[in-house]
Amino acid sequence: MTPPDATLRGFCGYAMKRAFLGVQADLNRVLAPLGLRMMTFSALVVVTDCPGLRQAQLADALSVEKPNMVALVAELEKAGLIERQRAAGDRRAHALIPTDAGRALCARAIAAVQAHEARITSGLSKLELQTLMQALALMERTASEETTHA
Amino acid sequence: MTPPDATLRGFCGYAMKRAFLGVQADLNRVLAPLGLRMMTFSALVVVTDCPGLRQAQLADALSVEKPNMVALVAELEKAGLIERQRAAGDRRAHALIPTDAGRALCARAIAAVQAHEARITSGLSKLELQTLMQALALMERTASEETTHA
DNA sequence: TATTGTTATACTCTATAACTATA
DNA sequence: TATAGTTATAGAGTATAACAATA
């Protein structure tokens, strides 16, 4: 009758984990043919939206620590999707620029992800989806406040 | 104006990731004083709810691969929270039993997690919370179907 | 002094193949 | 032959300290 994790199922954090891991695994399957993962896709989208932004800004936007950004950017650069240029006015910084190939792949990847999103949310009404997105944004803010107050 | 990840913010998968990582980090802060993490807490709750269940059943309940269950169970056993007993009738299997200390800690941890859940969902109405939980469960099912059909 | 990017390092979670001892 | 638990291993993501070059 009741599954072994019945108690856990009552916890929102546990439900979020199970749902996210499933969605992420599914999303990575969608992105794999394009040579991308969730992390590299996210970075490519931000660089394409904000050409010229610096590595520290990208790390901040994605909530990734700077040291972990290095390999990620190097991977995208090696794949020919973005370029690192010395920022004018600050020779320490790298300005990140999407290549033509990066922009093209980004457009294809966004289309694939949008189709994937439509599939995984197909069982939700417009109102339910809106409530879900608002709830997730609110919980993200609340959790970060809790952590900050620690 | 628009943040660098504005495009990503429109994706449900990205919103789920950010919310989950925030909630998980916050939850781990709550559990740390009890010597637990989200994974060890989850395992302890299941063993306490279903004393005598086997390692493979625990792994299945938590969607963890069996090899990854070994260290987790060993950690709980070393902490004196559960015991491994040879299952009667199948000398290959381990029956997992909570100790008195395990049951006591589990009760305290559940209370702490419930208080934590109340905090992070405090901005949501009862109906919004219900919609959120249903949406997460539905997306988990949908994602697993997608993956299975691959 | 402070910041950008970097190296080195470590921990957690996850995933697969292969072994052992039982069945 | 199949299963329960194990070992070994590897890939991601995440986290902190410390360094060189530059500001």
Distance, angstroms, CA A93 to C1' D23? Answer: 11
What domains are defined for chain A?
Answer: 22-119 (1.10.10.10)
Facing residue for A136 by CB, picked from B5, B15, B134: B15
Q: What angle do CA A133, A134, A137 make, to 5 degrees?
A: 85
pLDDT surpassing 90 at residue B1: no
Distance between CA atoms of B64 and B56, rounded to whole angstroms? 9
Q: What is the pLDDT of residue A150?
A: 41
Nearest residue on chain A to B52, alpha-carbon basis: A4
In sequence order, what DSSP letters do the residues of B13-72 get, joined into one string? HHHHHHHHHHHHHHHHHHHGGGT--HHHHHHHHHHHHSTT-BHHHHHHHHT--HHHHHHH
Q: What is the pLDDT of residues A12-55, one digit of tens each?
A: 999 999 999 999 999 999 999 999 999 999 999 999 999 999 99
Average pLDDT for A124-150: 86
CB atoms B143 and A19 under 8 Å: yes
Average pLDDT for A126-145: 93
Structural contact between residues A90 and A128, judged by C-beta atoms closer than 8 angstroms: no
Distance, angstroms, CA A40 to C1' D15? Answer: 19
Nearest partner of B7 among A61, A60, A136, judged by Cα = A61
CB atoms A143 and B132 under 8 Å: no
Q: What is the pLDDT of residue B150?
A: 42
CB atoms B15 and A58 under 8 Å: no
Q: How does residue B28 score in pLDDT terms, banded at 50, 70 and 90?
A: very high
Protein residue nearest nucleotide D7, by CA to C1': B67
Q: What is the pLDDT of residues B60-116, one digit of tens each?
A: 999 999 999 999 999 999 999 999 999 988 999 999 999 999 999 999 999 999 999
In order of A34, A129, B120, B124, the CA distances from A139 in angstroms are 32, 15, 6, 9
pLDDT surpassing 50 at residue B15: yes
Question: Would you state the structure tokens that stand for residue B3, as one six-digit string?
Answer: 């943040």
Distance between CA atoms of A42 and A48, rounded to whole angstroms? 10
Q: What is the pLDDT of residues A69-119, one digit of tens each?
A: 999 999 999 999 999 999 988 999 999 999 999 999 999 999 999 999 999
Q: What is the pLDDT of residue A148?
A: 58
The number of residues in chain A equals 150
Structural contact between residues B137 and A123, judged by C-beta atoms closer than 8 angstroms: no
Q: Chain A contact for B25, CB < 8 A?
A: yes
